[in-house]
């Protein structure tokens, strides 16, 4: 192919330095300037997101307790990251695939995977305790960023077969420093693969802070160098995460190519149950992020707009407790 035969290249616009959000920290609708052209999902979707986050947090807490009791070999908590785990996964269509990491157990539960099967890896019984094809969920990835190339390969093959399958890849900020991430981003863009890379930037790669990982203005800016669309979103705003991931997946299925989304969030618990985070971060930082709790934010919005009451919240809590009891049993 000569230069004149090459298709025109659409230059992606720069992501915003400030993360896009639809709900502010106090649980109010965000200002128009913060929405970047995205609309708040409908009420049913917002309630679905909150219910899944309530269930996911209870599951996460129960799994952490099992690890302390020695019933799990290890457990990496995702408490504080529920908006990413749930908002992204609930944007997937039935035919789409999820490529999770070891920290994304809540995303798998939200996708409908049996919670006990999810914990099989972390118990040390099997490399993967569920049938990936049945749930369209790849095995949880422990080596950083290797799941990204797997997703590119799967969607490239699916498209060649005429399927409109897309994939959502979950990664942490530390994974973006791996060579596997570079290879996946590059192949995805060159092949125009329908993959969305959702980076859960929780500020710490174990004990390494973000500023020692990257000098880019935001991790979303990395998309530009690969020729991908890049989005920078508030990762504690479930509505915003859901809206952005849903649009990126739809555009990918329609032939718009891959996208990279940076979701700014925070891991409020240790890296795993064997970690001591007090050695590398202070309590004031953790407390600042606790006040930005994704569950409280969405609950506040729904209550203020008359779309949620105590009875509905009790129903969510009861569902969560039944799941925790089932996991214990």
Distances (CA, A) of 163 to 29, 150, 155, 238, 240: 37, 17, 9, 29, 28
Residue 87 in tokens? 């908002």
Q: Is 58 in the active site?
A: no
Angle between helices 294-304 and 82-89 (to 10 degrees): 70
Bridge partners for 229 per DSSP: 259
- Among candidate residues 57, 136, 247, 267, the one labeled active-site is 267
Residue 316 in tokens? 């969510």
- C-beta separation of 99 from 145 below 8 A: no
- C-beta separation of 296 from 53 below 8 A: no
Residue 7 is classified by DSSP as P
Residue 226 in tokens? 């690969």
Q: Is 271 in the active site?
A: yes
> b/e string for 29-57 if b means 16 or more Cβ within 10 A?
bbeeebbbebebbeeebbbbbbbbbbbbb
- Among candidate residues 127, 280, 322, 328, the one labeled active-site is 280
- Among candidate residues 57, 229, 271, 297, the one labeled active-site is 271
Bridge partners for 261 per DSSP: 198, 231
Residue 39 in tokens? 């609309």
Residue 278 neighbours by CB under 8 Å, 6+ apart: none
Residue 199 in tokens? 């980076």
Active site residues: 267, 271, 280
């Amino acid at each position: 192919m000569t230069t004149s035969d090459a298709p025109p290249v659409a230059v992606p616009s720069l992501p915003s330095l400030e993360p896009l959000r639809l709900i502010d920290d106090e649980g109010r609708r965000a200002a128009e300037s913060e929405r970047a052209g995205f609309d708040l999902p409908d009420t049913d979707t917002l309630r679905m997101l909150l219910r899944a986050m309530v269930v996911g947090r209870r599951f996460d807490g129960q799994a952490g307790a099992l690890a302390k009791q020695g019933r799990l070999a290890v457990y990496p908590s995702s408490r504080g990251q529920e908006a990413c785990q749930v908002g992204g996964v609930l944007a997937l269509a039935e035919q789409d695939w999820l490529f999770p990491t070891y920290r994304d157990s809540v995303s798998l539960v939200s996708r409908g995977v049996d919670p006990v099967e999810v914990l099989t890896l972390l118990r040390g019984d099997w490399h993967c305790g569920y049938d990936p094809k049945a749930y369209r969920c790849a095995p949880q990835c422990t080596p950083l960023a290797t799941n990204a190339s797997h997703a590119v390969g799967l969607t490239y093959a699916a498209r060649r077969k005429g399927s409109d399958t897309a994939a959502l890849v979950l990664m942490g900020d530390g994974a973006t420093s791996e060579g596997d991430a570079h290879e996946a981003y590059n192949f995805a863009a060159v092949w125009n693969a329908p993959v969305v890379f959702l980076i859960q930037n929780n500020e710490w790669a174990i004990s390494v802070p973000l500023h020692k990982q990257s000098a880019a203005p935001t991790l979303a800016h990395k998309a530009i160098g690969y020729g991908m669309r890049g989005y920078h979103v508030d990762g504690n705003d479930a509505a915003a995460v859901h809206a952005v991931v849903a649009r990126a997946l739809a555009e990918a299925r329609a032939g718009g190519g891959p996208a990279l989304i940076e979701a700014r969030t925070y891991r409020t618990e240790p890296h795993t149950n064997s970690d001591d985070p007090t050695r590398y971060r202070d309590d004031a930082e953790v407390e600042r992020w606790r006040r930005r709790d994704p569950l409280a934010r969405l609950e506040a919005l729904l209550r203020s707009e008359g779309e949620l009451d105590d009875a509905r919240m009790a129903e969510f809590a009861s569902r969560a407790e039944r799941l925790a009891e089932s996991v214990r049993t």
